[in-house]
Amino acid sequence: MDGSLDGLTNVSHGRVEIDVLASAPHVGLSSPEGDGEQNMLQTMTGRRFVGSACLLIFLCLGTGCSTYHFAHSVKLASYDEDISKGKAAGPVRGADCTWHVMGYPLGGEPRIDRAMANARTQSGEHFADDITQETDPNKAIRYINGMNTSWDGFNAVIFGKRCLVVKGAGYI
């Protein structure tokens, strides 16, 4: 489950429970008074069904579904205890990736800490078992403002790549 959180889970905030069957008349019970009444009953059944369906759709739209990310916009995420105002280094991006072959991952799930480490060194994408590069203290990012995460990659059936990407505005 580690690292599999971002953007994967959609959960509706409000719980919508409509018993469509309970609100519709019993179609199987035909009326003995003739076809006219039966047609009217069928029309009412159809209207109630459409009404219930519309209500369900509107309630779904009203309550909405949420996408959960690791980070959406963390104001300050620092690599150092010193968070005094630094020099802007522009946008930073780092990713941690895992290759998949025939649906099987080669290594562990992408992790946010590794993606952040790559964002600091601006070393692009790294894969789960890569050896981390040494960080040049003069070039290393000290903190990130507005940090957000997203998933990236591709799936070509036989093989695929899945990356957790960290982005933000870096400061030295």
Partner 1 sequence: MRNLKGPLAILGLLALVACGAERIPLATMPAVSMTERSVAAGTQGEEIGEVEGIYCQGDDPIVSDSKNIGMLDEAIMQAQKQSGADYITGAQFFREGDCVVVTGLGMRATAGSQPTPDDGVAAAGGAQ
Q: How far is the CB of 95 from partner 1 (least distance, A)?
A: 12
Instruction: Pick from 97, 118, 143, 162 the residue near partner 1 by CB under 8 A.
Output: 143
Exposure of 169 by Cβ count < 10 A (0-12 exposed, 13-18 middle, 19+ buried)? middle
Stretch binding partner 1 (CB under 8 A), from 26-34, 35-43, 109-117, 123-131: 109-117
Q: How far is the CB of 6 from partner 1 (least distance, A)?
A: 8
Work out whether 17 is an interface residue with partner 1 (CB under 8 A). Answer: no
Work out whether 45 is an interface residue with partner 1 (CB under 8 A). Answer: no
Stretch binding partner 1 (CB under 8 A), from 44-52, 54-62, 97-105, 145-153: 145-153
Q: Which of 60, 71, 53 is nearest to 13 (CA)?
A: 60
Q: How far is the CB of 39 from partner 1 (least distance, A)?
A: 44
Instruction: Pick from 19, 81, 129, 136 the residue near partner 1 by CB under 8 A.
Output: 81
Exposure of 17 by Cβ count < 10 A (0-12 exposed, 13-18 middle, 19+ buried)? exposed
Q: Which of 160, 156, 163 is nearest to 97 (CA)?
A: 163
d(CA 55, CA 45): 15
Give buried/exposed letters for 54-93 (b at 16+ CB in 10 A, else e): eeeeeeeeeeeeeeeebbeeeeebebeeeeeebeebeebe
| Sites of contact with partner 1 (CB under 8 A) | 1-3, 5, 7, 9, 11, 13, 64-81, 83-86, 88, 90-93, 111-113, 116, 143, 145-150, 167-169, 171
